Amino acid sequence: MSDQNPYDAATAAAERLAELTGVERHDIALVLGSGWLPAVDALGEATAEIDTTDLPGFSAAAVAGHSGKIRSIKQGDRNLLVFLSRTHFYEGKGVAAVVHPIRTAAAAGCSAIVLTNGCGGLKQGWQPGQPVLISDHINLTGTSPIVGANFVDLTDLYSPRLRAMCREIDPSLDEGVYVQFPGPHYETPAEVRMAGVLGGQLVGMSTTLEAIAAREAGMEILGISLVTNLAAGLSGEPLNHEEVLEAGKAAASRMGGLLSQVVSKI
Ligand code: 8IG
């Protein structure tokens, strides 16, 4: 990111987005995490798809299973802005780079955002491939996307209204507190136990900084985790990224159905 202030940078990116997609204004943003890419086609046909690097302030995607694209999809009378990848905190590009897509979405007109991720699950009985609504978070990155004396309130950060909407669509959906570790290494089994003691049920490497920036921008936030693996030490097996991608493929139609239904109701 340049030394331009991050809100001006987002406005510049949103202006370029409108030019490149031909879509003046977007209404709802979605960020797809690990394992979520196969679900995107359920949202509808792309009006336009661009490379993130075509917009100012974005850098190339760094993770397998993340595509560095942004798709504009028309659903009914609304335009969805779908980020097929994200910048992670562990890439070391700085917090402003992590939340630049969020601020760009806000500058493009989005009033709601769906943040998805793949993560480890702590709760007994949860299975890989299971979606879980994020009810709250614990940010263990030690940092914030907000600079200066702006004391943003994070009560009900993950919209109770949107969570209730999801549970109406799928009453079997469970909820959990998401704990963001800095990564990129997975947790030790002791750290997973710590996350549990702290009140967490989901462990991952994204989402919390984005949610904070989205709240600052005034957006309504829905967070959905795809439990792609049991958290370290719980399954007796080492963790690997392939199981993450497999869980996404296996769960694609469920995730796609959930996303498209909830977005149509927001
Ligand atoms: I996918 O078990 C995925 N991302 N920190 N721990 C952390 N991040 C993850 C995990 C996990 N699974």
Token pair belonging to 13: 């990116």
- What percent of the chain clears pLDDT 70, i.e. is strictly above it? 95
Q: Spell out a b/e string for 21-58, using b for 16 or more CB atoms within 10 Å of the CB, else e.
A: bebeebbbbbbbbbbbbbbbebbbebeeebebeebbbb
- Cβ–Cβ < 8 Å for 111, 220: yes
At residue 156, what are phi and psi to the nearest 5 degrees? Answer: 50, 40
Q: Which atom of ligand 1 is nearest to the CA of 181?
A: 5
**Would you say the CB of residue 244 lies under 6 angstroms from ligand 1?**
yes
The residues that are catalytic are 187
Is pLDDT above 80 for 67?
no
Specify the residue with its C-alpha closest to ligand 1, atom 2: 120
The yes/no answer on whether domain 6-265 falls in CATH 3.40.50.1580 is: yes
Using the mean position of ligand 1's atoms as its centre, give its distance from the Cα of residue 191 in Å: 12
pLDDT tens across 207-260, in order? 999 999 999 999 999 999 999 888 778 877 777 777 777 776 778 788 899 999
Rg (CA), the chain: 17
Token pair belonging to 131: 């979606």
pLDDT tens across 83-130, in order? 999 999 999 999 999 999 999 999 999 999 999 999 999 999 998 889
Structural domain boundaries in the chain: 6-265
Token pair belonging to 37: 């890419």
Q: Check residue 36 and give its pLDDT.
A: 87
Q: Which atom of ligand 1 is nearest to the CA of 241?
A: 1
Using the mean position of ligand 1's atoms as its centre, give its distance from the Cα of residue 196 in Å: 14
- Closest CA relative to residue 228, chosen from 141, 139, 126, 124: 126
- Cβ–Cβ < 8 Å for 186, 232: yes
Sole residue written with tokens 């669509």: 169
